[in-house]
Amino acid sequence: MISLKSKTKKLDEPIKDKAGFLDYLIILIIGIILLYPIIWMFMAAFKSNEEIFGTVALFPNKWLFKNFVEGWKGSAGYTYTRFFANTALMVFPTTILTLISSTLVAYGFARFEFPFKKLLFTILLAMMMLPNTVVIIPRYMLYNRFQWIDSYMPFYAPALLCCNSFFPYMLIQFLRGIPRDLDESAYIDGCGTFKTLIEILLPLMKPALFSAGLFQFLWTYNDYFNSLIFVNSVRKYPISLAVRMSLDSESVVQWGKVMAMACVAVLPLMILFFAAQKYFVEGIATSGMKN
């Protein structure tokens, strides 16, 4: 404590804002509570059923690495290699399409005046409140007519057509915070509107785009309801359905195996998050700055 205080003085910072020992302890305790389930899941992935049930020990007595080997085999015939490839094929195009369409739409709303703008913007916002469930049945019929069922088109199409209003809304909020004078002057200098978007605004939107991209990635990756309805054959299962399938009801559930695959399923999210967290948190911070 004393050394902390003396340091503070050296740094010439206000003492009352400086966190003390107790504060760090609280931070640590909250952190442990928050992360314990994840750590436990990781450890459970190496345990047998006997160890998972009824013992509190965090570390397994015997490390069963075979849980991963067995789990990775998936449900006969299709391994998790396949499920990961499927997930990538589903998630990446969806994310990229979302970013492109949201940028265009956000630009249209944030930088132009046009008839019915207020009305259209209200509709855009209203669509954010439209539950997925209210349109899922008719959408299913529609996709079916296009023969898109059991493909990833039901994910690509709404992304391309900017159906999740959250993303354009987020970008609009962000664009509003960028002074109009910038692109206004570029426009007057003879820049086309598209060129203005690409050359002036896009670089500035980088953090928001990263953030939006990450959100869409996470949501599509984690999505269960839509996958459940639109993806039929195991051959095309993304991770979410594969993990649920590992809890197969006609054999004794080896929870260690299930947890091993649950770990594997969340691992890409963790890696992505740690790799991109700087941009991510920055993105949230900057977009959060504006109303």
Task: Determine if 198 is a binding residue for another protein (CB under 8 A).
Answer: yes
Q: Say which residues have a Cβ less than 8 Å from residue 105's Cβ, sequence separation at least 6.
A: 124, 162, 168, 171
What is the footprint of another protein within residues 93-152 (CB under 8 A)?
Answer: 93, 96-97, 99-101, 104-105, 107-109, 111-115, 117, 120, 123-124, 127-142, 144, 146-152
Residues 154 and 91 sit within 8 Å (Cβ to Cβ): no
Question: What are residue 78's phi and psi, to 5 degrees?
Answer: -115, 120
Closest approach of another protein to the CB of residue 107, in Å: 6
Q: Is 38 or 63 the residue whose CB approaches another protein more closely?
A: 38
Scored b (16 or more CB within 10 A) or e, 56-78 reads eeeebeeebeebbeebeebeeeb
Q: Which of 1, 2, 22, 76 contacts another protein by CB under 8 A?
A: 76
**Site map (CB under 8 A) of another protein, residues 218-257, x = contact:** xx--xxxx--xx--xxxx----xx-xxx-xxxxxxx-x--
Q: Is 1 or 129 the residue whose CB approaches another protein more closely?
A: 129
Closest approach of another protein to the CB of residue 65, in Å: 19
Closest approach of another protein to the CB of residue 251, in Å: 3
Task: Determine if 34 is a binding residue for another protein (CB under 8 A).
Answer: yes
Distance from C-alpha of 135 to C-alpha of 138, rounded to nearest angstrom = 6
Q: Is 54 or 62 the residue whose CB approaches another protein more closely?
A: 54
Task: Determine if 35 is a binding residue for another protein (CB under 8 A).
Answer: yes
Instruction: Note the helical H segments in 146-254.
Output: 153-160, 166-176, 180-188, 193-195, 202-222, 225-230, 239-245
- Using alpha carbons, list the distances in angstroms from residue 30 to 121, 129, 213, 259, 278: 41, 33, 29, 24, 22
Task: Determine if 190 is a binding residue for another protein (CB under 8 A).
Answer: no
Q: Is 56 or 62 the residue whose CB approaches another protein more closely?
A: 56
Residues 171 and 197 sit within 8 Å (Cβ to Cβ): no
Q: Which of 79, 84, 266, 279 contacts another protein by CB under 8 A?
A: 266
- Going by the DSSP 8-state scheme, the letter that residue 78 receives in this structure is B
Task: Determine if 158 is a binding residue for another protein (CB under 8 A).
Answer: yes
